[in-house]
Structure 1
């Protein structure tokens, strides 16, 4: 298909990964996306637990944010090291600590958050599954901001395209490429956020343990699996011998787990609410 207009030069958009810097210190949009996602999720959760049937209190939310933040950072970094670049970090283990150089895995971060939820819920006698439901509603905000930050950084670009919407990224060669970061922002971020929030605020879905969490996990996994066909595979891995990318391979168990939670949600009875009258 011929171009309807010349492809967009990423450099012509005036984007800068650094918001501002003072000497050697720099605030990057990617770091701001993490901070903004955590603060937005925190604020949303505090509103959500005021609704009847909440499985936790505002005090639990304050503690849980800390646990989940650690889960995201530790899980995301270890996931990237294990799944995407083990050889580099085996040769230089101290590089694992250099978070400012990038390298985070969503699948690893999600695993870290789930572990954090399980540990925190067990320590407080709460329902881990219902906490997962609530966190699922707010997580797409962080995904939306993170994918926008990826685009601003000019990283994680898509495969080559002859579509008129292609973007020429500075380190991706002369070919126009799918702005797959924006595809992910639309599906994993905006669409999931809209669907989950409508279900939470306008229906009784929050009272069915596993429904919202299952929808998020399956929805993300399916979105990521599809978008990987447009996203350039990681250079050090490429397409795996089974014909899938690492992102697609890691998304398959997510889809299955999410579908299981969805299929079994109607069989579970919600626990007694800690906040029945709020």
Structure 2
């Protein structure tokens, strides 16, 4: 171990213990992220200036949508993890696929699940599905930030071995110092992406081009994830695919292409 490696700040993953009931930081991260996203989405739809004449949901409709979004994120995130990252294991242990409290969620699966939730919610309503997509993605960075911080608290999804001054020795990562890649992701996916989307919604009036903000989020997340995967240790049971790329990079590349295409389509559409 290098002499300047930073010891991991041991944090109990259980935030509150109430008798036999344990409330984990990971669960609180999901709850806080969803609640803040809900609060921010209500502020977005209440701001007439940034929407112009574009129809959008009402704050009360966003209150109803939060249930759809939560179910889509949780079910999609779990199903995505099972099928994208460890299908062989869960094929022989199907009951464990239902044990969400043991961990194992996929952003890409949660993203697909939330898209299904948006489609189900928007049917028969007067606003565009693209506008709902814009609102959801502009608010999703809260959940990304707190989710990555929770990964850090759980000492999971750590980075590759490194000799940078801020490398840490994680209790589950062996004796070598590693990149705190969870914090890299929190900074890029949670903070930087929020700032970019905030500029698009409030300074560039891009909510008046339905779909543009959603495309920017999709492409921006894909780029951030592809970049951070260079510092993040691949899943042990997957490793490098074709000895070159990780599963996270493969799943994120289509997001960059599709997100860029959606931005171009939205910008050119009358």
User: Which TM class, normalised by the smaller chain length?
Assistant: over 0.9
- Determine the structure 1 residue equivalent to 2:74: 73
Segment of structure 1 superposing worse, 236-245 or 33-42: 236-245
- Kept after mapping to 2: 8 A contact 1:89/1:96: yes
Q: From 11, 26, 34, give the equivalent of 1:15.
A: 11
- Kept after mapping to 2: 8 A contact 1:209/1:268: no
Residue 201 of structure 1, CA deviation: 1.9
Distance 1:25 1:123 in 2: 41
Residue 16 of structure 1, CA deviation: 1.5
- SS of the residue 1:51 aligns to: coil
Distance 1:24 1:202 in 2: 49
- Determine the structure 2 residue equivalent to 1:275: none
Residue 14 of structure 1, CA deviation: 3.8
Distance 1:123 1:16 in 2: 46
The answer to whether residue 114 in structure 2 is matched with residue 113 in structure 1 is yes
Residue 43 of structure 1, CA deviation: 0.7
- SS of the residue 2:15 aligns to: strand
- SS of the residue 1:20 aligns to: strand
The answer to whether residue 180 in structure 2 is matched with residue 179 in structure 1 is yes
- Determine the structure 2 residue equivalent to 1:276: none
Residue 230 of structure 1, CA deviation: 0.5
The answer to whether residue 36 in structure 2 is matched with residue 35 in structure 1 is no
Normalising to structure 1: TM-score of the pair? Answer: 0.92
Segment of structure 1 superposing worse, 56-65 or 227-236: 56-65
Residue 75 of structure 1, CA deviation: 0.5
- Determine the structure 1 residue equivalent to 2:214: 213
The answer to whether residue 80 in structure 2 is matched with residue 82 in structure 1 is no
Residue 125 of structure 1, CA deviation: 4.3
Distance 1:169 1:32 in 2: 22
Deviations 1:23-78 (A, max 9, x none): 22111111001000111011111111112235111121011111111110010000
**What is the CA RMSD across the aligned residues, in angstroms?**
1.4
Distance 1:57 1:251 in 2: 32
- SS of the residue 2:140 aligns to: helix
Where do 4+ consecutive residues of structure 1 move more than 4 Å? none
1:79-228 pair list within 5 angstroms: 79-228=80-229
Aligned length: 265
The answer to whether residue 48 in structure 2 is matched with residue 62 in structure 1 is no
- Determine the structure 2 residue equivalent to 1:247: 248
The answer to whether residue 7 in structure 2 is matched with residue 6 in structure 1 is no
- Determine the structure 1 residue equivalent to 2:21: 25
Larger RCO (CA within 8 A; separation ≥ 6): 1
